[in-house]
Amino acid sequence: MKIGIDISQMIYQGTGVGRFIQGLTEAILKYDKKNHWFFFFSSFRQSLSKDIKEKIKLKDHRLINWKLPSSLLSFLFNDFHLATKPLINTFLPLNSLDWFITSDWIELPLSIKKATIVHDLVYLRYPQTLPKKIIKTQEKRLQWVKNETEIIFADSNATKDDLINYLKIDPQKIIVNYPGVTTFTPPDNLIKKTLKKYQLEKNKFILTVGKIEPRKNIERLIQAFNRLDSTNILLVIVGPSGWGKINFSSSHIKYLSYIEDVELYSLYSTCLFFVYPSLWEGFGYPIIEAMLLKAPVVCSNTSSMKEIAQNCALFFNPFDVEDIRSKMKIMLENDKLKKDLINKGKINAKRFTWENYYHKLIKTLSAFK
């Protein structure tokens, strides 16, 4: 087969969307031995890594690289979808493809079979947590997905249920395919270097990870943390800035913004436990990353989080500050529980591999009639 895929979301470092498309691209380049791929990438200011470019060339695939911002592409292909269809089919060499795969931001108006990856429908469930621009973009994009896409890959059963209930999409078109999650355990010298860099070598700390936006529910987490009795413990918050205002002004809270993976993995490996208070997730990468790096997990009991964590985490109601506080207190005091969750988590996390994701993707596309 000849398959195209939009990998433009790779520029969003530190986000689940960026991690997803990075992992999928690397899986394609590693595991595919017989299909020919066209990788479509567009960004006005940023470029693909040299490593990805070299691998695409080495594997004899093709890279289509545009210097256009995502906002312009969204305007052209989501807002003026039908009007730009003749243009895109003339100037993009994609008409001979068997499939084109899109995800997250734009829906290209192509006259070939399309598959779409949908991570979540937060814009419908919690519109108050998102900027209006994102809501409008997703509304337009998902309408074209509903009308034109042959197959939709959902990150979880929670997302599949939302696609059926909110958008009335035929369940037969939806395939649940859990994303892969990869990490590595940093050597001791790099862990020590990271702890020293962020002045954590002498502190015990609780870790949370996620883009700073209302859906991640950091405000309630901070309120719950401030109610804990333990004054010698820090809350470390890692994630790129997003939208909304959060007050980090506390001597017991460290906000580190975006950090490199080796540093993030060092923090997973040394935290007391990992807490994930998000209101809603299509998947929830940090939960599985934490499990892979032997951090006990306490997280929200909503959406895909309970689905992917199963019985390997301690759950709370993300809207209830007191429940968040009480579950964190249990984690601080119950070493036996933490060890049990660590052992269960390591086993659970092995389910989520990019090799599994890739093979299910190709099998589904190949079987489509």
| pLDDT tens column, 114-169 | 999 999 999 999 999 999 999 999 999 999 999 999 999 999 999 999 999 999 99
Region 246-256: what's the mean pLDDT? 85
In degrees and rounded to multiples of 5, residue 235 shows phi and psi of -105, 120
Lowest mean pLDDT among 210-219, 240-249, 274-283: 240-249
- Residues of the chain above pLDDT 90, percent: 79
Residue type, 76: L
pLDDT at residue number 94: 83
pLDDT at residue number 126: 94
Average pLDDT for the chain: 94
Between CA 124 and CA 146 the distance in angstroms is: 15
pLDDT at residue number 369: 64
By the 8 A CB rule, do 1 and 98 touch? yes
pLDDT at residue number 334: 97
pLDDT at residue number 244: 74
The H or E element that residue 11 is part of is: none
The number of beta carbons lying within 10 Å of the beta carbon of residue 229 is: 8
Instruction: Give the helix ranges, DSSP H, for 238-334.
Output: 261-270, 285-292, 303-309, 321-333
By the 8 A CB rule, do 354 and 178 touch? no
The number of beta carbons lying within 10 Å of the beta carbon of residue 252 is: 16
Region 218-229: what's the mean pLDDT? 93
- In CATH, the architecture of 188-349 is 3-Layer(aba) Sandwich (3.40)
pLDDT at residue number 247: 77
pLDDT at residue number 231: 75
Q: What angle do CA 239, 153, 268 make, to 5 degrees?
A: 25
Helices 16-31 and 285-292 meet at what angle, rounded to 10? 60
Between CA 242 and CA 221 the distance in angstroms is: 17
pLDDT at residue number 12: 85
Q: What is the pLDDT of residues 295-339, one digit of tens each?
A: 999 999 999 999 999 999 999 999 999 999 999 999 999 999 999
Delimiting residues of CATH 3.40.50.2000 domain(s) in the chain: 2-180+353-367, 188-349
pTM for this structure? Answer: 0.94
Residue 245 has pLDDT above 80, yes or no: no
Q: Taking the alpha carbons of 355, 356, 357, 360 in that order, is the dihedral positive or negative? A: positive
Region 338-347: what's the mean pLDDT? 98
Q: Taking the alpha carbons of 192, 196, 198, 201 in that order, is the dihedral positive or negative? A: positive
Indicate the fold that domain 2-180+353-367 takes in CATH: Rossmann fold (3.40.50)
Region 180-195: what's the mean pLDDT? 96
pLDDT at residue number 249: 74
